[in-house]
DNA sequence: AAACAACCTGAGTTCAGTTCAGTTTGACTG
DNA sequence: CAGTCAAACTGAACTGAACTCAGGTTGTTT
């Protein structure tokens, strides 16, 4: 499985593209996209603002790239986690666990993704931005299909009661991703606890 | 119950405040906040752009007002719907139904609220904006408490298995509000069907 | 009809994002 | 090891949408 890494090995040795993405994830993740100046990202990387345009067409293009990479990762993790599983309830469980098995940087990326999801709705004027947007949209649909097809398989096998798999899948996904809105690593409740709680909820919701 | 109306009866007869809010809800709801020009709202109301500043300190102040009003409405509806109910499972059911008993304009307001939720995280520079932000934040906490205390009452009565009511409440709320990200009145599935589906999910999640 | 507050406007300002017209850097070639 | 080239970068200028300012208009009240 080719993981979606923020540092692309295809780049030249002098390239700061990866460093820009890492800095942008930090800033966008902490203060939010609108709240962070594009020039602050440049400062953090240690280059002038205009050098950013050597790597990204715009601030939005950088954001869309971050979102696309995170969606790719989410999809890949889902596929990897559920690959060997044939028992529907267990497949459901590992899928939920995979969704919460993330690093601190990935938490920030999920937060950025959730906070700016609506950016994917409207077309972009520039070509490269639009390419990233369309790719991200397709990945959103792919992740949705990951969940709905898991549910449909379980229903076909008789392990889950038959219900509208699409709406149900969106509900499960909605509950899972809503965590990234409020979860902070320094908060009162730890991620493994949340993961267990949600896992139980999802199983009761789907399998009973 | 004093409902949070977009047209405030306290205003002068010449005031266009309500008309601005209605126009802003339409534009922000359809194209998104960032994607709509503040001047387009003025055009729609039929006034010059600068006249907007007679009613709102800024574009963000208008958005925050819309969000606060919608949160107030959500809270009020929850309280109104669950007021007479004593049986925990039925209380849970009516709360979910109330969350989906909304007009088309309220759907747009929910969409705006969900899409711009992260705006409530960071302080605002201007005073009136900050007042609205803090009020909105408090209402978010109030709505969260509405759900968690409903769950805690049910657990205390032995109607629901005892679990972490706060995390569980946020999960339920997350699943419900995630609907406003993708639901469109013209879509393939109708709101009453979604409402029923979610109601069932929530009951299984909580009461089993 | 005078006074006044609410309501509105055109011209100008600001500032983050972006473009432009080049300059520097360093890897590779002959 | 000098020359070449693309990748990487820069300071100065531009853009456009949000916003400010210094007043003008409207309608209500007494």
Chain D positions within 7 A of any protein Cβ atom are 7-12, 17-22, 27-28
Residue A5 binned pLDDT confidence (cut-offs 50, 70, 90): low
pLDDT tens readout for residues B76-93 = 999 999 999 999 999 999
Is residue A37 within 8 Å of residue A101, measured between CB atoms?
no
A118/chain B closest Cα distance in angstroms: 6
Residues with CB under 7 A from strand D: A 11-12, 14-16, 47-48, 50-51, 53-54; B 13-14, 36-39, 49-50, 53, 57-60
Integer Cα distance of A158 and B171 in angstroms: 27
Judging contacts by C-beta atoms under 8 Å, the chain B residues touching residue A35 are 122
Integer Cα distance of B40 and B42 in angstroms: 5
Q: Given this model, what pLDDT does residue A9 score?
A: 66
Q: Does A191 touch chain B (CB under 8 A)?
A: no
pLDDT tens readout for residues B25-49 = 999 999 999 999 999 999 999 999 9
For the CA of B59 and the C1' of D25, the distance in angstroms is 25
Residue A46 binned pLDDT confidence (cut-offs 50, 70, 90): very high
Judging contacts by C-beta atoms under 8 Å, the chain A residues touching residue B208 are 204, 208
Report the residue of A60, A181, A191 to disrupt the B interface, i.e. the one with the largest count of B CBs within 10 Å: A181
HSE-CB for B38 with a 13 A CA cutoff: 14
Q: Does A208 touch chain B (CB under 8 A)?
A: yes
Q: Given this model, what pLDDT does residue B208 score?
A: 85
Q: Given this model, what pLDDT does residue A3 score?
A: 56
Positions 33-92 in B, CB within 7 angstroms of strand C: 47-48, 50-51, 53-54
pLDDT tens readout for residues A52-111 = 999 999 999 999 999 999 999 999 999 999 999 999 999 999 999 999 999 999 999 999
Best CA proximity match to A52, nearest among B189, B16, A43: A43
Residue B3 binned pLDDT confidence (cut-offs 50, 70, 90): low
Q: What is the mean pLDDT of residues A20-31?
A: 97
Look at residue B199 and tell me whether its pLDDT is greater than 90: yes
Nucleotide nearest to B46 (CA to C1'): C8
SS3 B33: coil
> What percent of chain B has pLDDT above 70?
97
The pTM of this model reads 0.95
Chain C positions within 7 A of any protein Cβ atom are 6-11, 16-21, 26-27
Is residue B143 within 8 Å of residue B75, measured between CB atoms?
yes
A168/chain B closest Cα distance in angstroms: 7
Look at residue A14 and tell me whether its pLDDT is greater than 90: no
Q: What is the 3-state secondary structure (H, E, C) of A19-88?
A: HHHHHHHHHHHHHCCCCCCHHHHHHHHCCCHHHHHHCCCCHHHHHHHHHHHHHHHHHHHHHHHHCCCCCH
pLDDT tens readout for residues A110-157 = 999 999 999 999 999 999 999 999 999 999 999 999 999 999 999 999
Q: What is the mean pLDDT of residues B94-98?
A: 98
> What percent of chain B has pLDDT above 90?
93
Q: How many other C-beta atoms lie within 10 A of the C-beta of residue A112?
A: 24
Look at residue A1 and tell me whether its pLDDT is greater than 80: no
Q: Does A189 touch chain B (CB under 8 A)?
A: yes
Q: Given this model, what pLDDT does residue B180 score?
A: 98
A85/chain B closest Cα distance in angstroms: 24
Cβ distance of A168 and B201 shorter than 8 Å: yes
Is residue B170 within 8 Å of residue A182, measured between CB atoms?
yes
Q: Given this model, what pLDDT does residue B12 score?
A: 79
Query: Which DSSP symbol is given to A124?
Result: P
Write out the two tokens for A69. Answer: 């990479």
Q: Does B19 touch chain A (CB under 8 A)?
A: no
Is residue A202 within 8 Å of residue A96, measured between CB atoms?
yes
pLDDT tens readout for residues B136-174 = 999 999 999 999 999 999 999 999 999 999 999 999 999
Q: Given this model, what pLDDT does residue B4 score?
A: 63
């Amino acid at each position: 499985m080719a993981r979606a890494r923020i540092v692309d090995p295809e780049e030249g040795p002098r390239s700061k593209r990866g460093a820009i993405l890492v800095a942008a994830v930090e800033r966008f993740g902490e203060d939010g996209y609108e709240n962070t100046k594009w020039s602050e990202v440049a400062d953090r990387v240690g280059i002038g603002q205009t050098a950013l345009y050597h790597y990204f067409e715009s601030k939005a293009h950088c954001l869309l790239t971050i979102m696309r990479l995170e969606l790719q990762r989410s999809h890949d993790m889902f596929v990897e986690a559920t690959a060997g599983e044939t028992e529907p309830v267990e497949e459901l469980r590992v899928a939920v666990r995979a969704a919460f098995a993330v690093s601190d940087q990935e938490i920030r990326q999920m937060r950025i993704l959730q906070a700016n999801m609506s950016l994917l709705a409207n077309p972009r004027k520039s070509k490269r931005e639009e390419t990233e947007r369309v790719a991200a949209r397709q990945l959103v649909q792919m992740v949705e299909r990951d969940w709905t097809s898991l549910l449909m398989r379980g229903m076909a096998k008789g392990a889950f009661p038959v219900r509208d798999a699409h709406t149900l899948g969106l509900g499960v996904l909605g509950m899972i991703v809503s965590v990234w809105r409020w979860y902070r690593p320094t908060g009162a409740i730890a991620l493994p606890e949340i993961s267990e709680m949600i896992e139980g909820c999802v199983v009761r919701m789907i399998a009973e």
